[in-house]
Amino acid sequence: MNNQRLKIAIVIGSTRPGRNGEAVSRWVYEMANSRGDAEYEMVDIKDYSLPLLDEPIPPSMGQYSKEHTKIWSAKIDSFDAYVFVTPEYNHGIPGALKNAIDFLFKEWNNKVAGFVSYGSAGGVRAVEQLRLVMAEVKVATVRAQVQLSIYTDFENFSIFKPHNIHEKSINTMLDELVTWAGAMKSLRSS
């Protein structure tokens, strides 16, 4: 197995102004970084200004013509695993997150993802959709996930104040993610 330290992206899945995703992602980053078991980095899809998918050739061909796609490709390809922090919009994932995933293919392959979701039902329906999308781009997903309620983990629906109970669920998810990321990295190396 490659002895380099695992690199894990914490992907902010919403680009909406005033989004809760930044605060949730910072919390995930702080919790993850305190573990010392991998190199964690926050990746905000908003920073990449991706338009609606505008590549003329399907991503599975890996022939990108747009500079924004090449930059996004290099960033996503540099990671061994991903933690997607996503709200639930209308029983699903944000369009910007789906679009960002759809831009690429091989960069996602044979890696692993975990999920931190939030919404009125804890974001569980968004994660169910993400699991299907991840399967199509050949990303394994861990079972454990973190589900935050917009009613009990946010003051006035906007100030993030997670209950301590979530510390256990985030660590369980990260334990699974790191274990699987190591196995998948070994697979990619062989």
pLDDT tens-place string over residues 122-177: 999 999 999 999 999 999 999 999 999 999 999 999 999 999 999 999 999 999 99
Question: What pLDDT does 2 receive?
Answer: 46
Which domains can be identified in the chain, with CATH numbers?
A: 7-189 (3.40.50.360)
Whole-prediction pTM:
0.96
Question: What pLDDT does 173 receive?
Answer: 98
What confidence category does residue 4 fall into, taking pLDDT thresholds of 50, 70 and 90? Answer: confident
Q: What are phi and psi of 121, to 5 degrees?
A: -115, 30
**Spatial distance between the Cα atoms of 178 and 82, rounded to a whole number of angstroms:** 10
The first and second tokens of residue 86, run together, are 């996503």
15-66 tens-digit pLDDT: 999 999 999 999 999 999 999 999 999 999 999 999 999 999 999 999 999 9
Per-residue b/e over 123-133, b at no fewer than 16 CB within 10 Å? bebbbebbbeb
